[in-house]
Structure 1
Amino acid sequence: MTSTTPARMAATRARIAANVARDRFAAPTTLRVLRFIAAHLDSAAAECESYDGTTNAPFSRMMRSLDDAVELITMHTDTRFTASVVDYITAPLSAVPLPEPRRLYPVDARYAERESALRAELAQLHADTGAAESDPERWFSAVLATLAKWARLAGIVAVDNARPYNRARVAALHLKCIDCGGSTIQFGARQWAVCACGKGQAWADAMSCECFGYACPAVRHDAAN
């Protein structure tokens, strides 16, 4: 197996992510979590490297290790990793396009500008397929650094958007009545919502964002039953 096979490329990315996790500066409690994440990523890389073409079992074990890493990443946002790291690692195996980060919907224009800049930075890295193949360590390290900045910004936006005086502005970014276009919408049981204009509609119709159900801050902060 050469260094350019999909399995080897996936293993290389997993090793790079593991090294980034070990080298990341953080508080002592977060460092312990980062070490566990690194161990899971190393395990995923080892399974991928063991692939000899006779069975796909190594990939199943690799995915279990990646799932364990994602579980920790999801529970500990202070690691500044994102769950999308798995998509980058498995991309050489699946040929699926690299993931786009979810929209943050900041109400503060400064954070909106920062989000746009980071999105452009990530898009430029995605387009540099030559570097991804010829210098994966530099390329993927740069991707992870950008995602770390994205994770930090996501935390800042979540706090700022949750401020009581931003409630109406958050709703305007996430909600839109199918009748009047307003965003003063009450969410009730059975996935039914009612606008201030009196128009009833399904939750999905009232939400103009990319969020899902109660994960949407405009729904969570509303009087949902």
Structure 2
Amino acid sequence: MIKLTHAEENYLKAIYKLSDAGKKGVSTNDISAEMKTKPASVSDMLRKLGEKEVIEYRKYYGVHITQEGKILALRTLRKQRLWEVFLVDKLRFSWDEVAEVADELVHVQSPILIQRLDEYLGFPKFDPHGDPIPDEHGDVRSRPRLPLTEIELNGTGQIVAVNDKSAAFLRYLDKVGAYIGARIKVLEKVEFDGSVEILVDNKKTIFMSKDVAVNILVML
């Protein structure tokens, strides 16, 4: 079995997420931005991951995750997202607080612990940010979703996930009252700057900039 360091797990998880977002070949700049580190550090890590055959990297063609790499990345994502559910549902962390703590817990190497954690939580399908939780076989339950900016005028739907998981963004959503599970209706779309006005749960109207709306994902 391939052994990865904590840093290697984090990089592999980032590469998988970027690949899953539709990028055929993930660039070192993509990874650098995701990991918030220098391209030189990324290049050194890619060499290490390539030696362990969890990625393939060819200059000018980008990084491709191997099948073994995908299995390991999904295993890491499963642990992280289950821990996030646990922290929010059982320990009353808010969704903007869990990332750092879950990043520490994810490196615990105990398959039986993760199995029992999943069972204890009732086999959740999605984490507090709306991201799907891979099952023990690595299968991921996806659901169709669109950025709020792409919902038509007078269109309705439900907020099911967010793209931006930074603490500042999540705290902003808490402040304005936009949350996972909220029912929304698009009341206005401003052509000039792409901002939108929505009605939440038939009670509250919220005006959002394009930068905010594009990071809110809605299921019709």
TM norm structure 2:
0.28
* Structure label with greater radius of gyration: 1
Q: Which has the higher helix share?
A: 1
TM norm structure 1:
0.28
